[in-house]
Chain A
């Protein structure tokens, strides 16, 4: 493999890492702060992508508006789902998994029946291609990196600097104590879950141009996002970022050498081994035990 090809793979791998970070952030937040595995997450990506298609491609709204609509719609959907279904199953792992899987099934089959099997294509909002020597990158991928960094920064700000973020963290640390202080933890749960779902919708809308929008879009992200969560752990957002980079860069480079499926298998094996060595995630925050 030549040097230029390697650098090309590394660059696309890096942009891919940010995309993976964006697509798994919602999952990490819901798992990390609520101990709920949201199997419907990847189907929310699919829903977000469809929203982006109808808002941006069909209705010709500006792309930022499409992102905002996707976030808002998924957030509201999250509120409904949390109040109706998820809130009954806190602390019951099997039931949560089954319930969220049922939701994902309903979403996927609903999309199939509503929108049909046809592929939809969303145009690139920006179409230039940057070239640096032999390495090129589509400008939209740079935009995606930007979106991803923005979302990460906002999430960090939201969780660590705002009042509601403080409530979220305190609910995670000690629910009964938080309740004693007069904070409605049920409302906090709803907000946390809906925020995670909203991020999933936003990410789905953002990745719509680089993927074919179809009912099975969620499935193709399932493996990578869940591997990412397992490897990065849930205790720090930085761990998620690091594991996104590791996973996507290795997949990108190994795909260049053989093919993407072999790459995924090798990465999964590595993830299994890493999880054994660092069960709490790559970068564990110092917690008192």
Chain B
């Protein structure tokens, strides 16, 4: 079976009409699960991740005809999903709510979402991630879970490679400290 490539998907999309629909379906098959887990790691609750994923998928469709390939398809989609996730958190918790308060709410959600059978170290690890500021948390998850190159991360977050490296370094250090306690 031929592996579906981004070039194949973009080729279909550029033709428009029924081919665009086909390209969109293929894109969902290839990337939906990765997008979901990326969103889930940011917003924590499954129901919230479900909503943000739907919004992201619709926005991706809306933007397909305008996508010009300045970045990879994967980077572009992750940028949309990341923006939607961060916007969700801002809307849900309020722009001016102190970080500590938001953190405690998300930790509470984490414990609700993970049952007694969940592996304790995995829950503690996610809890440690929630101690990071939102953007730093996104930097860490993109690098750690997606193994995204720093150049691509800089495009996702509209930043610089140096900023991404610095944030990842400090995030890793903070998580190690929290997990070692």
- A-B complex is real: no
Q: Which residues of B contact A (CB under 8 A)?
A: none
